[in-house]
Every structure is written in structure tokens, then in C-alpha cells.
Structure 1
Amino acid sequence: MNSPVLAAHALTKTYGSTRALAGVDLAISRGESVAIMGASGSGKTTLLHVLAGIITPDTGSVTFQPAAGGAMELTGMSESARSRLRRERLGFVFQQGLLIPELTAVENVALASMINGVKRADAVQHAASWLGALGLAGMEDRRIGELSGGQAQRVAIARAQATGAELVFADEPTGALDSQTSREVMDALLWSTTGQGRTLVVVTHDPEVAARCSRTIAVRDGLVVPTAVDA
């Protein structure tokens, strides 16, 4: 059996008197799409941020196993090493996209590759191909404010894939969208990740989004709890 692409053991995280994570164990297989669900304050976003190396847990470990090379223990890395890992090997899609409004769609996507040392012309060409694949051909030179919410999220998805990220984290990627646009964005997100043999971890409050994923993880009071399917 292949080792998981991501494995967490005994994760805890406390903010003041609030225990956001209370001892989480989790393994995610390569090529899975995993939805993390839970009520507001359950710890699901904290879990996503710890798994992605954005924040460090108080205790416990997170191990990332890339397709090539040795395993990486995120919680033992320096902040600069985790930042490099996120920049080069991981992709991110957030509810508001976090795109740069002063840049065009293609520039937003190309920037991710350029930061990693790719020449501008090559980065722009690669970015344009991703935008075209996600249904945004002809919109490359539009600024973010000239796009609909769903189009902007597809730009964010293209940006997450521009560096060839093996593992993509999405935090409420459809939270600000209507139901039809939400389905279209999930189509794009799944096609660009698991459809290409990559792995997706998505935090969502929407059961329809979770149902599109291959597995759902429920979080309550900082712990992973059995779902109805597991029970």
C-alpha cells in the first residue's frame, strides 16, 4: 500500500482558552478529494492551516510525502522552509480568491511561477494555457474586478495549479457563490486536481460540495468524529 501524501498525528492547537485542535490523527491518500466539514468554531480551518504548514501546531506532526523525493515533516521545518514548500509544491484557493486586483488574470496566474524563477514569457504562456483549460480563454487581460465571482475563482484555481502543485488546499472556495456557479467552480477544481492525479483538501460548510469529494471528514470541538457514512 502506498504511503499517504499527507499524514497528521496527535495535532493540538490552542488559542488562549480555546482548544482549536484536541489531538487530530489523519491520513490523506494521493489522488483523493477530501472535504473537511464542521460547525463554525469546530477547528476545521485551523486543521487546514496546520496541514498546509501555514501555522504550526502546539504538539503533533504533519508529514508530506511528495511523489518524488523523501518525506517532509512540516512541523520540524523553519518558517522559511515551510514558505518555500507552500510556494513550490502546494496550491491554495480561498473563499475570496486573494488575487491581486491591479494585475490581469494571466499576470495573477503567472506570478506564482515567476516567484519560483520561471521566465516571464514562459510563465505567461503556461498561465494562459491553464486559463484556457478552465474556460477563461479570451479573458487573460481582464483585471480581477472585470470578472464575475466564478471567473475570479477559476483564476485562483489556475494560479494554484500553475506551479504543478501535487496537493491543493481550498478554504470555502464556493462560499461566496450562488449554487450554479458553485457547481461550475467545483467542476473546475476537481478537474484540475484529482482529474490530473493530484490531491485536494477542501474546507466547506456546503453538503453539496462535500458530496462531490471522495471522502468527508467531520470535525467537532477540535476532533475528527465519525460521519454518518462511517457510523
Structure 2
Amino acid sequence: MNAFVIEAHALAKTFGATRALAGIDLAVQRGEAVAIMGASGSGKTTLLHVLAGITAPDAGSVTFHPSAGGPVEVTALGESARSRLRRERFGFVFQQGLLIPELTAVENVALASMINGVAKKDAIPHAASWLAALGLAGMEDRRIGELSGGQAQRVAIARAQATGAEIVFADEPTGALDSHTSAEVMDALLWSTTGQGRTLVVVTHDADVAARCTRTVAVRDGRVVSSAVDA
């Protein structure tokens, strides 16, 4: 099994006159938690989106090494194949959660599995087990508007894990939370990823969040300027 779960080489991306990525190389080890930091406009979110197959780069390559099967060159896939990869192999947690307010907590989590063909009768108890593991037992039938910000983010974390994602991409997952709730959400995010032998890549402005990761990658002007293992 390859030691790296995802590798990027010479990534370049421009939006109009803005150069978002300027030849980035990055390799993420299996089971690692990597924080990507940088000022607004540094390219960190674009880097996350390219690694996750959300955005196609103008040049360069991203290769995903699943735990079973051969390597997958993400950047060589068409949009439908990248979409399938995101649904089946990757998990996502965003600042606002992007949960469906009309659905209950357990339905939001179960939906990730159901989209991949799992029957509702199987997806619901599996989703409920993830909610319970993340401290939300008894809240399965609450709609998102009935949850606190931290609780909603834990629902989003459960949804990211419900399909057995090998790598979770998180974009400012604690950005809208106070410091206490932020720490609780990071507890849940780390436990459900690296705590289970999975991988986390998180974009953050928060030095406290980055300090809890294995390694911090600093990005400036579309380039990696440092990559340091956190103490």
C-alpha cells in the first residue's frame, strides 16, 4: 500500500488575471492530519478543491491512492467520474455545513450512503450509529435549525464519514464557531478521521486548529512556502 493517500505535482490554476496556484507540489501521508494555512487569496481553498476533484487545474496532476486497488489520477477523470469519486471515496465538511434544513439529522447523514445505492433501511441505522459516536444520540430526528452550530457541524462530520471516506477535506470547519465549540468540533473531526486511521486535510485561519494537526502547510501567492510537522 502506498504511504501517501494523495499526491499533487506542479498544480497550476488561474481565474481570469488571478493566479491561484503557481506550481504546487504536495503529498499527504495516509492517516495524517494536514492543515493548510494562508492569507485570504493565497490559494489555499483552491488547492483543497483541486485535491478533492471539485475544481480541475489548468496544469499538473493529482493522484489518489486508495487502500484497495490501483492509483487513480483524479485530474485525468471527466466530471462524472470525479463526482463519483467524491461521493464514494472522499468526505467533505464546510464552514456552513451545507446540510439540508428540511431533513432531520439522521436523514442528512443517511443521504450520503443512499446516494451511493445503500437502502434507506440500512442507511438510517448506520447514520444513527455515527451520530451517537459523535455525541448526538437522541438528536437523530431534530432538523438542522433545531441544533446548535457545533451540533450541526458534528452532523456534517458524521455525513462525511458515513460512506467510509478514506480522506476528509474540511474547509474552515470551525470558522463560524466560538473557541470552546471549535475545540469540540476538532475533537470530533480528528477522532473520526485520524483516530480511525483515515486522513484529514483542513483549510483553516485558526492557529489553534492547525496546531492540533500533524503538519501545517503554509501557502502564499499560490505556492507552498513551508511544510512543518507540528509539535
- TM-score, scaled relative to structure 2: 0.98
Q: Which amino acid aligns with 2:44?
A: K
Range with bigger deviation, 221-230 or 160-169: 221-230
2:144 and 2:228 mapped to 1: Cα distance?
A: 40
Aligned to 1:110: 110
Q: CA deviation at 1:179?
A: 0.1
Q: Which amino acid aligns with 1:126?
A: H
**What secondary structure does 2:114 align onto?**
helix
- TM-score, scaled relative to structure 1: 0.98
2:157 and 2:144 mapped to 1: Cα distance?
A: 14
1:17 and 1:50 mapped to 2: Cα distance?
A: 19
- Alpha-carbon distance change, 68 to 209 in structure 1, aligned in 2, over 3 angstroms: same
- Kindly indicate whether the alpha-carbon contact (under 8 Å) linking 2:216 and 2:228 is maintained by their aligned counterparts in 1: no
1:158 aligns with 2:158: yes
1:177 aligns with 2:173: no
1:206-221 to 2 correspondences below 5 Å? 206-221=206-221
Unmatched segments (≥5 aa) in structure 2: none
1:227 and 1:93 mapped to 2: Cα distance?
A: 23
Q: CA deviation at 1:205?
A: 0.2
Q: CA deviation at 1:226?
A: 1.8
Q: Which amino acid aligns with 1:25?
A: D
Q: Which amino acid aligns with 2:118?
A: V
Aligned to 1:89: 89
**What secondary structure does 1:114 align onto?**
helix
1:27 and 1:75 mapped to 2: Cα distance?
A: 15
1:75 aligns with 2:75: yes
Q: Which amino acid aligns with 1:170?
A: A
1:222 and 1:117 mapped to 2: Cα distance?
A: 38
- Kindly indicate whether the alpha-carbon contact (under 8 Å) linking 2:48 and 2:203 is maintained by their aligned counterparts in 1: yes
- Alpha-carbon distance change, 227 to 83 in structure 1, aligned in 2, over 3 angstroms: closer
Aligned to 2:142: 142
Q: Which amino acid aligns with 1:103?
A: L
**What secondary structure does 2:10 align onto?**
strand
1:228 and 1:200 mapped to 2: Cα distance?
A: 16
Q: CA deviation at 1:3?
A: 3.5
- Alpha-carbon distance change, 141 to 13 in structure 1, aligned in 2, over 3 angstroms: same
Q: CA deviation at 1:2?
A: 3.7
Q: Which amino acid aligns with 2:47?
A: L
**What secondary structure does 1:7 align onto?**
strand
Aligned to 1:10: 10
Identity %, equivalent residues: 83
- Alpha-carbon distance change, 227 to 115 in structure 1, aligned in 2, over 3 angstroms: closer
- RMSD after superposition: 1.2
Aligned to 1:31: 31
1:28 and 1:76 mapped to 2: Cα distance?
A: 19
